[in-house]
């Protein structure tokens, strides 16, 4: 197998039972947010018969009441593209007029199809999340139509909250935030990333710093229950001093309910990766060493500003009473079959029962399939019971702790647990397993300890095929991909042709 030199692949290829290797600066990888993973090359559902058989469970069985449901809506539009973002998106300017109407009608139709299936009859939704893309890129009427359909079709009588990701560009529209509040939105989040004007320009972030401050103030004035801001670290050009200024601006001046921190991911083959490699972005380049230093800086500084409660691995608050935050449901609810995710919209990822699947990463194809009565997905797999059990331990580093009673077949992981405890990464009691501070710093690496051998092999192959076929490894789509990575060109030129083909773009 070809070795790809990035932290994700280094994590898969490392012998993590060697402590020095585990804590190597260049081998700190991201936590796992979706598992078991889907691959556009390995999990394609190509015929309507395959899709019908795959989804027959929706009308054949009812949802297990002990399992919470997160409704996730992917609104794939942005007013402008940030060059660091690998999420699936299209320009909102491209989908105006009749195209916008068709999209909204398709969203409503998909809401109705799922909600009216036998599987969801009598099911109470636990949390609702709108992500993207940028949901606030939709006009008020379109967004209201979709949210109203959710209230009408699903049982939200016991919902813990409804959150929406936005941008200062859309949220600053007169009456937009007030409209969201009137329709039951309880939390709004948006990405600040950095307050440094030069770095924002190089990341092609269109919203101004002034708009960031005004939007935060407008959210407070509207009476939204809570709001969260995103902060990135290890960005090109982001010195420790700039990061300190970012933290001060967010915590002392913007003062959100929650701060969500994200490490910069330099996806191979993307435009930004090309610019960084060519030295066109900054003399201070992202690195594993800087990332570890800045992770520690963020934790210490957030605590100094009162954000000393770490709810999830990247989720901090100054509040004593936070209420449900919803993000825990996206990572399985921290228990065996504790939470499923139903995703609606282009590129939305789903985990329902043993089924892990993804909707079309093509807006036009997704709309047409919905209009034609075809289930609009492009990949899906049925997971083994072994993988279903593994989800709890793969995700537990996101939470920082797990109750032993919530882990199916705990002794299956005895070697890994003992190694974590002996190495100082975790503490085990009679009731739970909890990461230490050094364990939290290496949370992404710890997740890899609980990947099955099959899942590791699939991840390696996904990375290789994505780069070979000029696709972004994140979703195996064409987001920000202009070229074959330079370091891979010579290897591909001498490698025998692979029988796998890329997912069809249309």
Is residue 122 in some structural domain? yes
Is residue 212 in some structural domain? yes
Same domain, 467 and 326: no
283 burial via Cβ count (<10 Å: 0-12, 13-18, 19+): exposed
Q: Are 67 and 119 in contact (CB under 8 A)?
A: no
Instruction: Round to whole Å and give the CA distance between 390 and 410.
Output: 10
CB crowding 54-83: b at 16 or more within 10 Å, else e? bbebbeeeebeeebbbbbbbbbbbbbebbe
Task: State the distance between the two ends of the chain, measured CA to CA, in whole angstroms.
Answer: 30
Query: Which of 309, 330, 351 is at the close of a domain?
Result: 330
284 to each of 247, 274, 404, 470, how far by Cα in Å? 19, 15, 43, 27
Query: Which of 313, 330, 347 is at the close of a domain?
Result: 330
The model's pLDDT over 295-342, given as tens digits with 9 standing for 90+, comes to: 999 999 999 999 999 999 999 999 998 877 888 888 889 888 889 999
Is residue 240 in some structural domain? yes
Q: Which domain holds residue 112?
A: 50-330
pLDDT under 70 in the chain at which residues?
1-27, 268-269, 480-506
- pLDDT recorded at residue 66: 76
Is residue 379 in some structural domain? no
CATH number at residue 161: 3.80.30.20
Element (H or E) spanning 462, and its range?
A: helix 453-468
* Number of compact structural domains in the chain: 2
205 to each of 84, 230, 298, 361, 486, how far by Cα in Å? 9, 13, 22, 23, 26
Is residue 44 in some structural domain? no
SS3 7: helix
CB crowding 396-417: b at 16 or more within 10 Å, else e? bbbbbebeeebbeebeebeebb
459 to each of 39, 349, 417, 464, how far by Cα in Å? 8, 17, 23, 9
Q: Are 369 and 375 in contact (CB under 8 A)?
A: yes
Looking at the DSSP bridge assignments, the partners of residue 261 are 231
Phi, psi of 442 (to 5 degrees): -110, 30
Report the sign of the C-alpha dihedral through residues 63, 64, 69, 75, in that order.
negative
Strand-strand pairing, 68-75 and 127-132: parallel
358 to each of 366, 392, 447, 475, 486, how far by Cα in Å? 11, 21, 22, 9, 30
- pLDDT recorded at residue 160: 94
The model's pLDDT over 143-159, given as tens digits with 9 standing for 90+, comes to: 999 999 999 999 999 99
Cα 228 from chain centre = 15
Query: Which of 269, 298, 330 is at the close of a domain?
Result: 330
Is residue 190 in some structural domain? yes
DSSP string across 470-494: T-BTTTTB-TT--S--HHHHHHHHH
Is residue 145 in some structural domain? yes
Strand-strand pairing, 432-435 and 68-75: unpaired
Instruction: Round to whole Å and give the CA distance between 37 and 351.
Output: 10
Q: Which residues contact 438 (CB under 8 A, 6 or more apart)?
A: 23, 424, 425
Is residue 476 in some structural domain? yes
């Amino acid at each position: 197998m070809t070795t790809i030199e990035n932290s994700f692949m280094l994590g898969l290829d490392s012998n993590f039972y060697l402590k020095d290797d585990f804590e190597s600066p260049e081998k700190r990888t991201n936590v796992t947010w979706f598992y078991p993973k889907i691959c556009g090359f390995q999990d394609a559902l190509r015929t309507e018969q395959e899709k019908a058989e795959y989804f027959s469970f929706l009308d054949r069985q009812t949802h297990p009441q002990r399992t919470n449901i997160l409704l996730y809506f992917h609104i794939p539009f942005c007013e402008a593209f940030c060059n660091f973002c690998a999420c699936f998106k299209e320009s909102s300017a491209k989908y105006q007029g009749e195209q916008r109407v068709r999209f909204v009608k398709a969203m409503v139709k998909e809401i109705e199809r799922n909600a009216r299936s036998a599987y969801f009859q009598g099911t109470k939704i636990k949390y609702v999340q709108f992500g993207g893309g940028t949901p606030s890129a939709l006009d008020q009427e379109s967004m209201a139509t979709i949210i109203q359909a959710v209230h009408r079709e699903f049982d939200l009588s016991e919902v813990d909250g409804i959150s929406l990701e936005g941008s200062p560009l859309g949220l600053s529209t007169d009456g937009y935030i007030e409209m969201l509040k009137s329709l039951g939105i309880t939390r709004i989040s948006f990405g600040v990333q950095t307050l440094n004007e030069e770095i924002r320009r190089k990341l092609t972030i269109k919203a101004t710093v002034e708009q960031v401050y005004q939007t935060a103030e407008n959210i407070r004035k509207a009476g939204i229950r809570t709001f969260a801001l995103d902060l990135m670290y290890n960005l090109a050009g982001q010195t420790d001093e700039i990061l300190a200024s970012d933290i001060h601006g967010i915590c002392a001046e913007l003062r959100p309910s929650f701060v969500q921190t994200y490490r910069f991911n330099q996806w191979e083959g993307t435009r930004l990766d090309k610019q960084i490699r060519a030295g066109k972005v900054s003399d201070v380049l992202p690195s594993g060493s800087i990332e570890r230093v800045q992770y520690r800086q963020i934790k210490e500084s957030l605590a100094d500003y009162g954000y000393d409660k770490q709810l999830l691995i990247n989720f901090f608050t100054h509040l004593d009473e936070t209420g449900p935050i919803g993000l825990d449901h996206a990572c399985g609810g921290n228990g065996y079959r504790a939470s499923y995710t139903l995703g609606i919209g282009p590129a939305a990822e789903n985990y329902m029962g043993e089924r892990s699947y993804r909707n079309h990463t093509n807006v036009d194809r997704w709309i047409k399939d919905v209009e034609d009565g075809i289930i609009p997905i492009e990949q899906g797999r049925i997971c083994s019971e072994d993988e279903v059990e593994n989800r709890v331990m793969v995700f537990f580093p996101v939470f920082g702790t797990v109750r032993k009673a919530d882990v199916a077949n705990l002794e299956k992981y005895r070697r890994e647990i003992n190694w974590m405890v002996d190495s100082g990464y975790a503490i085990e009691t009679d009731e739970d397993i909890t990461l230490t501070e050094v364990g939290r710093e290496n949370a992404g690496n710890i997740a890899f300890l609980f990947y099955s051998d099959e899942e590791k092999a699939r991840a390696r192959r996904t990375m290789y095929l994505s780069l070979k076929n000029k696709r972004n490894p994140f979703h195996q789509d064409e987001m920000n991909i202009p070229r074959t990575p330079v370091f891979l060109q010579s290897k591909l030129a001498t490698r025998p042709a692979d029988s796998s083909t890329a997912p069809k773009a249309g």
